[in-house]
Amino acid sequence: MKFLLILINIYLLVKCDNNVDIPSQSVNRTVVPYNTIVGYASTNVEAYSNGNDSQTTTEYNSLYGIFMGIKWQCVEYARRWLFIRKGCVFDSIDGAADIWTQIDYVQRVDNKKCFSVKKYSNGSPNPPRNESLLIYNRSGIALPFGHVAIIVDVLSNSIRVAEENYDSYLWIGNYSREIPYKYLNGNYYIEDKYPIAGWISIIDYNQTKPLDQYTINNIIKLNGTSPDFICSNNSIYHFISFYSYLIFIFVLLKNYYM
């Protein structure tokens, strides 16, 4: 049992990328300590520093009793941004890259209303959309579980994103990085060092809104328990992926100690 707990802790610590070296524009090189705010996006969604490459934690973050994720991972920020700005959350996933393949709906927390999502592959004829989730694929040692950021602004030839666990630098504005994109042969390509799956937009028909005090009070009445995620069920994917990972770690450790 103790060995299994060790494997689970290892799994949790590497679910998201750890301070990956993705090139960016307009970066402030002021390093911020762990658990310190690095900036704000979309008016009121703060992002926290995850420290440095050696910083690991198994602490969880909740907001108004609703689970957000592991501090201060990219998935935690994406879920918290979605919660604060749209009152919705997405289901549990094993890594940031799995949002692309496993998340087809988000759910409003206070009444369980479901909203579908629209996925635009990198190289889509549709331009990047503001308030979309930008999903990175898994990519070797640098991005073993991918990465996710929030597109908070779309300019004529670049996007601005907000995120956690990319680096520990203080933001220079209301975004963490500016990433170029190009329009080529009728398609839009966001250009970064590591492969991008695409961006995901919430199809809400203007029915979602930022949290207000009335909604917060209703959520608090849930007594600190997240409602069941009824919009979709990726538990089978989660189960298979989780235990496949445990088997991989077990074989790795077994070979190491033999």
- Which secondary-structure segment (H or E) carries 83? helix 74-86
Residue 150: closest CA among 208, 207, 86: 86
| DSSP summary character for residue 192 | -
| Catalytic position from the list 74, 88, 114, 231 | 74
Domains and CATH numbers, the chain: 2-257 (3.90.1720.10)
| DSSP summary character for residue 31 | B
The overall average pLDDT reported for the chain is 84
- Contact, 168 vs 50, CB < 8 A? yes
pLDDT in tens, 58-82: 899 999 999 999 999 999 999 999 9
Q: Is the pLDDT assigned to residue 7 strictly greater than 60?
A: no
Total-model pTM: 0.81
pLDDT in tens, 141-171: 888 999 999 999 999 999 999 999 998 899 9
- Contact, 149 vs 176, CB < 8 A? yes
pLDDT in tens, 96-116: 999 999 999 999 999 999 999
Q: Is 16 a catalytic residue?
A: no
pLDDT of residue 96: 97
pLDDT of residue 229: 79
Q: Is the pLDDT assigned to residue 36 strictly greater than 50?
A: yes
Distance, CA of 65 to CA of 190 (rounded, Å) = 36
Q: Is the pLDDT assigned to residue 16 strictly greater than 50?
A: yes
Confidence band of 137 (pLDDT split at 50, 70, 90): very high
pLDDT of residue 151: 98
